[in-house]
Amino acid sequence: MTIARAGTDKAALRRAVLSRRAALPPDERELAEQAAVDALLPLASGPVAAYLSVGTEPGTAALLAALAARSIEVLLPVVLPDQDLDWALAGTGLAPGPQGLQEPQGERLGRDAIARCALVVVPALAVDREGNRLGRGGGSYDRALARTAGRVVALLHDGEAVAELPVEPHDRPVHALVTPRRGLVPLTGEDA
């Protein structure tokens, strides 16, 4: 699937991917969730920053459960009023946050807590071969990724890894992506 060319409107790209995702059958969504476990569990040796998937995003519940079973500390995001991200430990209970998303209820660890994570798992609608990530448009993850030197990996459905995406100065790249058919794919600058 070709969803992007240089200069394409990001909002239009987001709509196209979300429409495509809405049509995915449940078995394809399950494959994406299992691919995340298979690809990322072997990389998790210390604290991991991850997220709670919503809607048609590749699922993270199985990954979070597998990390917990190995007693690996997981930090989950908490969206702040300025759209930046704070972090709290997984396993501290969940409740709807101000935007209706489930958020951990434990002690807030601060915006810089992501810096101690060697592995950072992020949502994406698409990623190009240079690691440019198309997110939902709020810039929350771009701000947070500026604070980490960890390996950043985006979870995608098949067909969402593309040749090129439009890039803005504030965009932060990812180091790798995971899809059901391709598994873990290192990108430019990381064993590509």
Checking if the pLDDT of 3 tops 70, the result is no
Strand partners, 77: 87
The answer to the question of residue 191 being in a domain is no
**Cα distance between residue 65 and residue 58, in whole Å:** 15
Q: What is the pLDDT of residue 136?
A: 85
* Percent of the residues in the chain that have a pLDDT greater than 90, as a whole number: 74
Tell me if 2 is assigned to some domain. no
pLDDT (tens digit, 9 = 90+) per residue, 42-69? 999 999 999 999 989 999 999 999 999 9
Residue 153: phi and psi, rounded to 5, are -125, 130
pTM of the predicted protein model: 0.91
**Read out DSSP for 123-165?**
E-SEEETT--EE--SS-HHHHHHTT--SEEEEE--TT-EES--
Domain with 147, as residue range(s), is 10-186
Share of the chain above pLDDT 70, in %: 93
What backbone torsions phi and psi does residue 145 show, to the nearest 5 degrees?
Answer: -65, -20
Assess if residue 192 is contained within a domain: no
In a domain, 4, yes or no: no
Domain of 126: which CATH number?
A: 3.40.50.10420
Q: What angle do CA 139, 1, 17 make, to 5 degrees?
A: 35
Helix (H, G, I), strand (E, B) or coil at 119: strand
Residue 51 resides in a domain? yes
Mean pLDDT, residues 108-123 taken together? 97
Residue 34 makes CB contacts below 8 A (sequence gap 6+) with: 62, 180
Tokens 């759209």 locate to 83
In the chain, how many domains are there? 1
Q: What is the pLDDT of residue 43?
A: 95
